[in-house]
Amino acid sequence: MRTHVIAMMVFSAACSPDDEIVDQDADGFTADEDCDDDDAAIHPGVPEIWYDGVDQGCAEVDPPLEFTRIPDSSRGEDPGGPRFAREDDVVEVNLVFANEGVVNKSARLVATLDGSTGSLGGSSYDLLDPTYGADFTLGRALDAARRDATSLLAVSVLEVGAPGPAAALLRFRPDGSWSWVGWRPGGPDEHFDDAAIHDDGETVHVVACGSAIGMQWIAGTLSDFDGETYVEASTGARAHSCEVIGSEVRALDEDGTVTAYTVVDDGLVDGETWEDVTDLAWDVDVFLLVRDDGLTLEIDGEETDVPTSVTPARARSDLSPDGTLFVVYADGDGDLYLLYGAPGAALTESFLGAGLAGSDLDVEVSEGALFVAARTKDDAWVAGVERRDR
């Protein structure tokens, strides 16, 4: 009898609950198999959501997009940019801003692809011209384009002496030199709110618009701009945000209506409209409308509604060489999100960071890497990472 009792005591100790390997989150994987046993949505075999820094499938394959602050990037009242300007495997980030109304700078961050890894490095320019002094103040970076290896082009709103505010096309060269062409609205109290640029490799097209004035479109070769012999067209229609592709313009007014305009002779003739819009982005591949209930994408004439987890306030998009769509958007608090996937299909969403994009944002994607830029009033941020979604 005594032997039987001892045997039972030994058996009970061997099966103590303290020694069991448990499945804390009841997802079918025990703690020694699961990389996060407190979250049932994370375990081996779960499809990966890229670029969020969370290892959903326990495969250690998803490095986060790590944002680097661009030093001394903001001194203006209402800064803009960064704006990407891509040429093959080089991504250039351009910022134009005012530094206390005296020293004017453009920072250019060059991102090159080394194999499959995106690396960020860069240089900056001091643009203090004694000819203009304190009267010459560069404003927000609004859009940018790159002309092969010869020029980085940007459009900005600036202050330049009497009679006051103007828009400008700035051209930065590899040797550090730069030049600009500016144009003004009609009166000293009028001011452009936005400007956009499109470079087709020969002709540069620029549109500038304002909520208190009309729109102005100009176009020409770089030589035309240098000699101020570009062609012009205008309309009295008012808009606070505008985009351009060739002789086509799409602009957003304060009532939330986007209108398509076509250049005819020296005027802009209006056509198709879209309602209830809070922001827009447009390039050769994708037309993007931001609305309270999500995003609307138009690709090759086909419209697709894209729901978002939070109400978007601003967004930009890019289509990769292999046809993958990438959209970055921010809510009213500046929290930054990424959507990616096949156009027309359900897009995967990931959260990139809180409070990064209270003022501006941009995205560029190549065959091998993804680049995202964001700005608050005080800081500009850039991130680059190897593409892992393919």
**Residues 199-243 pLDDT 10s:** 999 999 999 998 888 899 999 999 998 888 999 999 999 999 999
Dmax over CA atoms of the chain, in Å, equals: 111
* CA proximity to 249, closest of 279, 291, 296, 209: 209
Q: Are 87 and 120 in contact (CB under 8 A)?
A: no
pTM of the model: 0.83
User: Of 46-55, 268-277, 326-335, 356-365, which range is least confident?
Assistant: 46-55
Residue located via tokens 């699961």: 34
pLDDT surpassing 80 at residue 6: no
pLDDT at 87: 76
Which whole number is the average pLDDT over 376-380?
Answer: 84
pLDDT surpassing 90 at residue 263: yes
* CA proximity to 249, closest of 273, 213, 228: 273
Q: Are 94 and 82 in contact (CB under 8 A)?
A: yes
pLDDT surpassing 50 at residue 296: yes
pLDDT at 131: 41
pLDDT surpassing 90 at residue 361: yes
* CA proximity to 142, closest of 85, 221, 218, 68: 85
Q: What domains sit in the chain, N to C, each tagged with a CATH number?
A: 75-184 (no CATH), 195-275 (2.40.10), 280-390 (no CATH)
* CA proximity to 388, closest of 119, 50, 113: 50
In order of 49, 106, 161, 321, the CA distances from 81 in angstroms are 27, 11, 24, 24
CA angle 159, 162, 164 (to 5 degrees): 40
* CA proximity to 263, closest of 238, 286, 245: 245
What whole-number distance in Å separates Cα of residue 206 and Cα of residue 198? 6
Q: In this structure, are strands 287-291 and 294-299 parallel, antiparallel, or unpaired?
A: antiparallel
Q: Torsion over CA of 333, 291, 328 and 173, rounded to 10 degrees? A: -100
Query: DSSP state, 60?
Result: S
- Tens digits of per-residue pLDDT, 317-335? 999 988 999 999 999 999 9
pLDDT at 332: 95
Residues 6+ apart with CB under 8 A from 340: 50, 51, 324, 325, 326, 327, 347, 348, 350, 389
Q: What percent of the chain has pLDDT over 90?
A: 37
pLDDT surpassing 90 at residue 314: yes
